[in-house]
Structure 1
Amino acid sequence: MRSKPTTGTDVPPANGRLPGNQSGPVDLRLANPAQVSPTGLLKPGWGLWQAGAGLVLVLALPLGATLALSTMLPFGPELVFVSLCFTWLVLLGSSLAASRAWGFGSLAKDFGLRFKWIDLAIGLGVGIAARLVLALVQVVITLLWPLEEGEVLQGNAELFLTGDDGWIFVNAVLGGALIAPFLEELFNRGLVLRAVQNAWWVKGSARGRVSAATERRSLTTATVVAILVSSLAFGLLHTGAVGDLRSSVYLLVGTFTVGVICGILTVWTGRLGPAIMTHIVFNGSAIGLLLMLPPELLT
């Protein structure tokens, strides 16, 4: 009788060789640690269709709710807050549903939602570096695609800076700089990235929440594809916040770049802590700079 695969966070054998693997040692540093057990690889039951359904809901539900409420509420901090709440609900709900219904039942095991004290230092350093890298990328884009006279770029951070100080604290500081980075990383670098990586890398051998799995492609290739796809999805989720083509391109390039950086941190460390802290520093620095600008420059 086939033994039931374990669902713990067992570490792989010291030599990197999985039982039954005759082709040589397997480098599993980029895999989700919870999927590696002494008896072989494991694969959660959640995958591309759960991640795809989550992406559709993240796009459709907040937009539909905002359009419906815009007939009753004028544009302002209240409407921004409602839209954010619907977005957060889908990000968290999709991740929880996938984990509990088809996975290990733990956000730490399924998506690497773990933290270490070193993540604070990593996030601070990489977050500031990411802001500098993005500034350089945007300079290059501007040189290749010069701004027209009088043309002004729009961003999405300004949407949070409406209303009085109380609303700015709720929407920008709590929402944009703390809650959004946490939930966006959980969904994009947790559910989406790992779903794409697993779909390319392994195949399950049985139905159920978690099954034994075997490799079918290179883990390194699967990881690169997963980082790129999840970063593109992350970027596309943000482009609807601006209305003109140039601003959308800048925002897409910027969010894609940050997504790649956070994706690399996630697969390299095996947890979401560094990516979440990097995202917090990245968003917080943008909001902090905007708050220091005179109000007339934001209108």
Structure 2
Amino acid sequence: MSHGATNRQLFPSVVIERVDAWRSFATVTDDPGTPSSTDTRHARTRLTIALIGLAVAALLAATMRAGVQIPQPFDALGGYVLVWVPLLGAVLLARFAISAPRGSAPVLGLALRPIDLLWGLAAGLILRILVSVLEVVVYGSLPSTAGGGAPTGSALIVMSFIVAVLAATVIAPVVEELFFRGLVLRSVRGSLPGRVAWIAVVISAALFASLHLVVASGPSEALVTGVGTFLVGLGTGTAAVLTGRLGPAIVTHIVFNASLLVLGVTAVSGGTGVVIE
């Protein structure tokens, strides 16, 4: 019996899988087999589509900050739609118009397991703490959330509030993780010689931060937003690479955004912390 076989008997399979994942993160792809030139070419084509979609989203966000006019109770989606449409368009085009690389998970890695809820909860709260520390360092205190609690009044006002919360805590995390960790990260990784994962994670996090910097106003907000979103991108990208699926990344993103909104609804603090919309 070989030494490697003995080790795999002594340690639980989940431990072995995590060790193998970390090795993959630092070295080469987790896809089986050696990537062909066709796989690399397809990855670069998908990356080109992603960059075009990102550029369009950034341009729309910069030139139309007020968003598009949508009737109540969906009016809160106006600003989001500007970003969602080109990002989702790029994801769909890259996914269905170009062949997926060998061994890739379906739908750009969109999968969720029960354990992802635990990892996402822990990672999301840790990232929120880190960004809160950054906010204290830069601003001198925690910024207020949208304090005052949940709105009351007409049914349309309440529904608009619910739509806004769902947009920030559910729809935006899914759309952005599909784009940045599903499309961008995988495309960058597939385009790199050796397909080193950590480089792809850093690049996808940097692009993620750059999109949010478009709407930042002032150097302090730009610093907090840029660093905060970059940290979140690193966290979600690492989770996506180590697990091979987007479930942990999406849950992390949801928890990170929702944690600040909970403070706002309960009027614990009261202003505008970083929400990755």
Q: Given the two structures, how large is their TM-score scaled by the length of structure 1? A: 0.67
What's the CA shift string for 1:227-280, capped at 9, x where partnerless? 111111111211233322211111111111111011111111111111111111
Larger relative contact order (C-alpha < 8 A, sep ≥ 6)? Answer: 2
Matched, 1:99 2:95: yes
Provide the rounded CA distance (Å) in 2 between the counterparts of 1:185 and 1:68. 22
Q: Secondary structure at the match of 2:24?
A: coil
Deviation (angstroms), 1:101: 1.0
The equivalent residue for 2:275 is none
Residue 10 of structure 2 corresponds to none
Match of 1:187 among 179, 184, 196: 179
Q: Select which of 86, 93, 105 maps to 1:90.
A: 86
Name the CA distance, whole Å, in 2 between partners of 1:130 and 1:257: 7
- Which aligned pairs between 1:97-136 and structure 2 lie closer than 5 A? 97-104=93-100, 108-109=105-106, 111-136=108-133
1:41 partnered with 2:35: yes
- The CA deviation at 1:294 is 7.6
| Alignment of structure 1 residues 164-243 onto 2, 5 Å | 164-172=157-165, 174-201=166-193, 217=194, 219=195, 222-243=196-217
Cα shift readout 1:131-188 (whole Å, capped 9, x = no counterpart): 122223334x43xxx75xxx99688x89xx999322111012x100001011111101
Identity %: 30
- 2:130 equivalent to 1:138: no
Once residues 28 and 96 of structure 1 are traced to their aligned partners in structure 2, the CA distance between those partners, rounded to angstroms, is: 31
Root-mean-square deviation (Å): 3.5
Report what 1:273 is aligned to: 247
Which residue of structure 1 lines up, in the alignment, with residue 58 of structure 2?
Answer: 59
5+ residue gaps, structure 2, are 6-21, 273-277
Using the size of structure 2 for normalisation, the TM-score is 0.72
Per residue, is there more helix in 1 or in 2? 2
Cα distance in structure 1, aligned partners of 2:212 and 2:113: 29
CA distance in 1, matches of 2:254, 2:100: 27
Q: Quick one: distance in 2 between partners of 1:277 and 1:68?
A: 26
Q: What is the one-letter code of the residue matched to 1:41?
A: P
| Runs of 5+ unmatched residues, structure 1 | 1-13, 15-26, 202-216
Cα distance in 1 for residues equivalent to 2:237 and 2:206: 11
Equivalent residues of 2:50, 2:87 under 8 A apart:
no
